[in-house]
């Protein structure tokens, strides 16, 4: 994904995450791209235009109408239509941070500043990186506006869960610059290196019910599998995503199948695994299921202890390994000790082409996080990746898949 000489236009609106755009600009410059920056008048309260001008090596534009001294500069583009010129110049327009105000105006076609006027004039792909407080992000109006932007065809770098400027913890934290950079690379390069590939991905936990109201499960949120599905679809693949119970929005263009138990997962994997080029088993499938399941709620009265017997669920990964034909099979290994040896053993025993190893005890990795630290192991080599977003990890996994022989 070469960005050399690509034209990157970045629009910054007035949110605290604006300071992170300095890092984003540097990533693009380092990759050989040309960068221009637009700021709303509110954005200058959060980050200096002088800093961004120095980093981008281009003048930062703030106001729709420049002052008289700027108009007199002969090298300036025609100021009556310079928003159009910027819109036509760019290979991609990234709006980050995209506040709820800017998102609302963009969805409504309002153009009361230079950034929004340029948005209406641009012909290139547009990527929004929302950033706001948890309640503002979850507000039904904001969600409606984001869906409106998606319906138009704009791309969204979804915000993540984390510490917010308000001091609260929740959703609304802007995706990290590295994630926005990776997503923009895929978009601007028009990379469709998975076009024609049919990929099956599993995600999330499974639930094994003890009675009608109780079950055993695990902390998986499905984020890794969903980011894999998102990345694969963006790179041109036809993606089927089989997921356990999660609270995540289906990535655009992905066929989603919801399941609950390990048996549900097995039945749907079996029926959807035929004629696939790649199967990625990232779901955290519960290993045990109760032998006797109660059809009613088990009452606690007059009983101080409870004993339940469990049996192993079907090993879906082993089944797929035995049935493997011409497709590639990638599994995940969650290990807390003797990690590499256990992962290599699983790679061999289950006839995998690659295994993704991670340790949930490592800070920044494991269940529920927006980042991961993994080691990619195939039959010839292994590579430990630094901490990165799960979207970045997903693209690294897909890159490695394309290198498998």
Q: What is the CATH number of the domain that holds 298?
A: 3.40.50.10300
Q: What range defines the domain where residue 345 resides? A: 198-403
Q: Which of 85, 101, 139, 218 is catalytic?
A: 218
Q: Are residues 300 and 392 in the same domain?
A: yes
Question: What is each CA distance from 341 to 160, 338, 344, 355, in whole angstroms?
Answer: 33, 6, 5, 12
**pLDDT level of residue 23 (50, 70, 90 thresholds):** very high
Do residues 114 and 81 lie in contact, with contact meaning Cβ atoms separated by under 8 Å? Answer: no
Q: What is the CATH number of the domain that holds 113?
A: 3.40.50.1950
Give the pair of three-digit tokens for residue 157: 């770098």
Say if residue 79's pLDDT is above 70.
no
Q: What confidence tier does 325 reach under pLDDT thresholds 50, 70, 90? A: confident
Structure-token pair, residue 246: 């999660």
Domains contained in the chain, number: 2
State the Cα–Cα distance between residues 332 and 342, nearest whole angstrom.
11
Assigned domain for 1 exists: no
| Whether residue 336 is found in the same domain as residue 267 | yes
Q: Is residue 118 part of a domain?
A: yes
Mean pLDDT of 83-107: 92
Same-domain status, 32 and 146: yes
Mean pLDDT lowest for which of 50-59, 165-174, 209-218? Answer: 165-174
| Residue 7 clears pLDDT 80, i.e. is over it | yes
- Phi, psi of 198, rounded to the nearest 5 degrees: -105, 120
Distance, CA of 217 to CA of 288 (rounded, Å): 9
Range in 116-120, 151-155, 203-207, 351-355 the model is least confident about: 151-155
| pLDDT at 290 exceeding the cut of 60 | yes
> Is 2 contained in some domain?
no
Lowest-confidence segment of 1-5, 19-23, 95-99 by average pLDDT: 1-5
Note whether residue 366 is domain-resident.
yes
Specify whether 165 is located in the same domain as 209. Answer: no
* 355 vs 353: CA distance, rounded Å: 7
**Average pLDDT over all residues of the chain:** 90
- Do 234 and 380 lie in a common domain? yes
Q: pTM for the complete prediction? A: 0.75
Q: Is the peptide bond before 97 cis (omega within 30 degrees of 0)?
A: yes
Cβ(94)–Cβ(102) below 8 Å:
no
Quick one: 179 and 206 in the same domain?
no
Q: What does the alpha-carbon distance between residue 229 and residue 222 come to, in Å, rounded to a whole number?
A: 11
326 is catalytic: no
**Which residues make beta-bridge pairs with 257?**
242
pLDDT at 72: 44
- For the packed helices 49-56 and 21-30, what is the interaxial angle rounded to 10 degrees? 10
């Amino acid at each position: 994904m070469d960005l050399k000489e690509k034209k990157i236009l970045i629009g910054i609106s007035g949110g605290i995450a604006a300071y992170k755009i300095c890092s984003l600009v540097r990533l693009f410059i380092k990759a050989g791209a040309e960068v221009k920056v637009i700021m709303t008048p509110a954005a200058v309260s959060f980050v200096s235009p002088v800093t961004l001008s120095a980093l981008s090596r281009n003048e930062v534009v703030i106001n729709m109408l420049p002052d008289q001294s700027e108009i007199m500069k002969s090298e300036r583009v025609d100021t009556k239509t310079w928003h159009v010129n910027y819109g036509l110049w760019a290979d991609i327009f990234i709006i980050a941070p995209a506040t709820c105000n800017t998102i609302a105006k963009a969805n409504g076609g309002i153009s009361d500043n230079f950034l929004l006027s340029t948005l209406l004039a641009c012909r290139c792909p547009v990527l929004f990186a929302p950033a706001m407080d948890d309640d503002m992000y979850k507000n039904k109006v904001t969600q409606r506006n984001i869906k409106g932007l998606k319906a138009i065809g704009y791309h969204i770098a979804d915000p993540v869960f984390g510490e917010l400027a308000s001091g609260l913890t929740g959703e609304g934290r802007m995706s990290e610059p590295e994630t926005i950079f990776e997503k923009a690379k895929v978009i601007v390069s028009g990379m469709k290196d998975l076009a024609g590939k049919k990929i099956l991905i599993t995600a999330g936990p499974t639930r094994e019910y003890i009675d009608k109201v109780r079950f055993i499960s695990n902390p998986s949120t499905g984020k890794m599998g969903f980011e894999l599905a998102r990345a694969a679809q963006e790179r041109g693949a036809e993606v089927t995503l089989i997921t356990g119970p999660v609270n995540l929005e289906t990535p655009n263009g992905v066929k989603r199948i919801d399941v609950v138990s390990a048996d549900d997962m097995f039945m749907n994997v079996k029926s959807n695994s035929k004629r696939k080029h790649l199967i990625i088993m990232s779901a955290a499938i519960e290993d045990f299921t109760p032998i006797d399941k109660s059809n009613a709620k088990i009452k606690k009265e007059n009983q101080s202890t409870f004993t339940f017997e469990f049996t192993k669920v079907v090993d879906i990964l082993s089944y797929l390994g035995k049935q493997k034909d011409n497709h590639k099979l990638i599994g995940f290994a969650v290990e807390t000790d003797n990690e590499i040896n256990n992962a290599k053993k699983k790679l061999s025993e289950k006839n995998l082409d690659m295994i993704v190893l991670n340790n949930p005890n490592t800070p920044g990795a494991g269940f529920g996080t927006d980042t991961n630290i993994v080691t990619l192991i195939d039959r010839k080599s292994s590579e430990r990746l630094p901490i990165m977003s799960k979207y970045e990890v997903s693209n690294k996994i897909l890159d490695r898949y394309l290198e498998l022989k």
